[in-house]
Structure 1
């Protein structure tokens, strides 16, 4: 089948009906003038191999949610260095010969979301949660100069990989039990915890100075985002507004959603996450508009 005929894509997960990925991807492909279809499919780790193995040659690629980002690894024929670094692939691309390549665009999404908020340098960060998303977060903020990350973990023993990752990146990662205390004055607080879960409270001093990046976006604003707003913070991402003198900036998980998707679309279009899309600013604008109720 010709390159042009490989026009089918989808996001996989379970549950997946709530996903906003189809809306933003379709908006992007309309701007790019590509007659591609992008849907969603309820797929579990147990059914992933069968699903991937039964796609025909009309398929171009897939987006993956957790835990499929890890479950996909044994099925890949090749993968980029970021996949090996953080142990997760959120994007797969079928090559013309049918081989499957894995990529990670979450790391780029984290870095880009901070930069879009005007945050180009960080030193100390507090990270809430120690799952796969935390690994991408640490790799992303390492690109912004972070040298220390304190990770609050419900199960510290499961966070050992983050310490190893930190050594590779030149970041000192300290894992702290959930009931413990984070120390120091962070440049950013990053929550990788699903929306609705209880989280620790932060002092007004931290809420007035540190950038908050909450990867959750449903519901939004989250309780954590509200606490930053109460201290005078502002939405730094989709609105394009920076922080204020009275409070740290707040970055929504919607910004991460869009930015990691931009990386995915670059892969689907160019087979390379580093090559920008034609008129990428217009593409991103359409993606953000697709998120507007």
Structure 2
């Protein structure tokens, strides 16, 4: 019994972030393990950014993978021993895979977002976009769009200085970038609006925001549905939800951690089921 497969062992995985109690990742990953017949565990662990280095150094041999959410995505990229191409380009990671004590960092937000948009028929024809927020997730979204023909991007932020990293990523891809304050009026209609900011920020301006967009992608899923998505649907706009992204990026995480594929729809169903209990 010297060579048991990893899939046959009881392995531990988790999602890290703060706050983390609202996360749907445990429900989705557990559903994936059930589908794959894996006796693995997946938990939610509250970790602040300054706690991450010590937390990662204290991992046991039974830990296989970690999903990473705010505010840890940039710090996770820095802590890894190896980085995927997307992580190297963006400095943002949402996945850490543990192998013989080595941490490899991956970004499934980029590919997951593209898959979610493709599934909803929104991937082609996006030439102009407006992103609310400029944090780690916004950086991934800007890069994803830049790989599919984006020519002009408007970043709407509280503090223009915080948009610098996202702006640079897009500009390196040849995208024209304009940075605007969160309270500035919207003067142009864009092909796609992406919101990465909390409900209390986007929801208050939902009518104005949807009136200046031809499609809406709201990364936020708490509360569900968001005011922004509801306003978009009421206006007849095509939409992509944070749950769509969550399911696709989680399916890619499951594959990285287990070596097996799972249908994102199974994860989406698990997330919706969990939301129904809240």
Global fold match (TM > 0.5): yes
Match status 1:73 vs 2:73:
no
> 3-state SS of the aligned residue for 2:200?
coil
Rounded to whole Å, the distance in 2 between the matches of 1:40 and 1:220 is: 20
Match status 1:289 vs 2:266:
no
Q: CA deviation at 1:213?
A: 0.5
Query: Which residue number in structure 1 is paired with residue 185 of structure 2?
Result: 181
Deviations along 1:135-157, whole A, 9 cap, x unmatched?
01101112322111111111112
Query: Which residue number in structure 2 is paired with residue 137 of structure 1?
Result: 141
Gaps of 5+ in 1: 232-246, 271-276
Rounded to whole Å, the distance in 2 between the matches of 1:74 and 1:162 is: 17
Query: Which residue number in structure 1 is paired with residue 14 of structure 2?
Result: 10
Bigger share in helix = 2
Q: CA deviation at 1:3?
A: 4.7
Query: Which residue number in structure 2 is paired with residue 243 of structure 1?
Result: none
Match status 1:99 vs 2:102:
yes
Query: Which residue number in structure 2 is paired with residue 114 of structure 1?
Result: 117
Match status 1:57 vs 2:37:
no
Query: Which residue number in structure 2 is paired with residue 257 of structure 1?
Result: 246
The CA RMSD measured in Å over matched residues stands at: 1.9
Query: Which residue number in structure 2 is paired with residue 211 of structure 1?
Result: 215
Instruction: From 89, 92, 97, give the equivalent of 2:93.
Output: 89
Query: Which residue number in structure 2 is paired with residue 237 of structure 1?
Result: none
Deviations along 1:256-278, whole A, 9 cap, x unmatched?
111111111121123xxxxxx44
Deviations along 1:132-179, whole A, 9 cap, x unmatched?
111011011123221111111111122122221112222212111222
Whether the aligned pair in 1 keeps the contact of 2:18 and 2:71 (CA below 8 Å) is no
Q: CA deviation at 1:87?
A: 1.7
Q: CA deviation at 1:18?
A: 1.7
Q: CA deviation at 1:215?
A: 0.7
Query: Which residue number in structure 2 is paired with residue 158 of structure 1?
Result: 162
Match status 1:43 vs 2:47:
yes
Query: Which residue number in structure 1 is paired with residue 257 of structure 2?
Result: 268
> 3-state SS of the aligned residue for 1:266?
helix
> 3-state SS of the aligned residue for 1:118?
coil
- Structure 1-normalised TM-score? 0.84
Aligned residues: 266
Rounded to whole Å, the distance in 1 between the matches of 2:63 and 2:108 is: 20
Superposed structure 1 runs of 4+ greater than 6 Å apart: none
> 3-state SS of the aligned residue for 2:137?
helix
Query: Which residue number in structure 1 is paired with residue 208 of structure 2?
Result: 202
> 3-state SS of the aligned residue for 1:217?
coil
